[in-house]
Amino acid sequence: MRTKIDRAAHPFYRVGTGEPLVLLHGGTSSWHCWESVIPLLSGQHDVFAPNLPGHGGRPDLAGPYTISAVTDAVEKSMDDAGFETAHIAGNSLGGWLAMELARRGRARSVVALSPAGAWRTDETRVPALFQSMRKQMRLSYPLVPLVMRSPGLRRAAMRTICEHGDRVSAQQAILASRNALRCTAIRDYLPQVIATEYEPYGTLDTPVLIAWSGRDRMIPADRYAEGWRRWAPSATWRTLPDVGHVPMYDDPALVANTILEWTTHTSQVRRAL
């Protein structure tokens, strides 16, 4: 089994021993956003981090890009990994998918980090923000390798997705930019996904922790968390301090500890029943 992160264009990464843990990235990203977190989790978990369809070089879906279809794809990845159930941790779109896996009975527990979803079907701010970011990225992409060498410029360039871009390596930042620009799913993802009606989760049997980034500029809690409070009334809530929308970049230890505390607690409760 590999013991260090492989930066090649693999569609997933797996390492570690223990109870299975699936890590799901957000829209336009790849499993590499978990790169600094995975080593902190693999001592206690069999960690599996797949790319979502249309992300990180993985082929897009054959049909419409719906939450249901992407969840089907994640379930297939879990089946291939030999996971009937697993702890699921997801960020943004990955957090939403984690909740869908809980709905389907595939999650032992869920940690949703600033989850997407639970918004109104006429939501316009998030699609506009994504389109603006992609337009700026297309225009500036030739300069990305140069810009990302400077910690100060890196922090400014990544301000929408993280609070401390200077803590991200230049290599990580360049890869994140490349993944975002080459993501094929985003062309279909936001418009049709937001416009679709979804069923709230109600009271789930699966233990759910919703951990919102305190400095999330993409989907700030003061605007979007209330929808999740209605959709998942049985969830436990936590605010992660001094981190942005993708907290794995800002504070890998905080993210890893948040996940491990929840998986350990829920496993202990399950064994005691």
Q: Which CATH number fits the domain that encloses residue 117? A: 3.40.50.1820
Identity (one letter) of the amino acid at 107? A
Total domain count, the chain: 1
Q: Which domain holds residue 116?
A: 12-272
Given a contact cutoff of 8 angstroms between Cβ atoms, the answer to whether 244 and 250 are in contact is: yes
For all residues of the chain together, what is the average pLDDT?
92
Given a contact cutoff of 8 angstroms between Cβ atoms, the answer to whether 11 and 81 are in contact is: no
Give the pairing type, strands 107-113 and 45-50.
unpaired
Identity (one letter) of the amino acid at 242? D
Q: Is 121 part of a structural domain of the chain? A: yes
Q: Is 4 part of a structural domain of the chain? A: no
| CA 60 vs CA 99, 204, 232: distances in Å | 22, 30, 29
pLDDT of residue 43: 98
Q: Is 5 part of a structural domain of the chain? A: no
Strand spans (E) along 80-233 = 86-91, 107-113, 208-213
Q: Is 140 part of a structural domain of the chain? A: yes
Q: Is 3 part of a structural domain of the chain? A: no
Residues 6 or more apart whose CB falls under 8 angstroms from that of 121 comprise 194, 195, 196, 197
Q: Is 7 part of a structural domain of the chain? A: no
**Pick from 237, 238, 239, 235: nearest CA to 206:** 235
CA 152 to chain CA centroid, nearest Å? 25
Q: Is the pLDDT of residue 139 over 90?
A: no
pLDDT of residue 4: 44
pLDDT tens column, 44-82: 999 999 999 999 889 888 888 889 999 999 999 999 999
Q: Is 232 part of a structural domain of the chain? A: yes
pLDDT of residue 188: 62
Given a contact cutoff of 8 angstroms between Cβ atoms, the answer to whether 180 and 28 are in contact is: yes
The pTM is what? 0.94
pLDDT of residue 62: 85
pLDDT of residue 149: 94
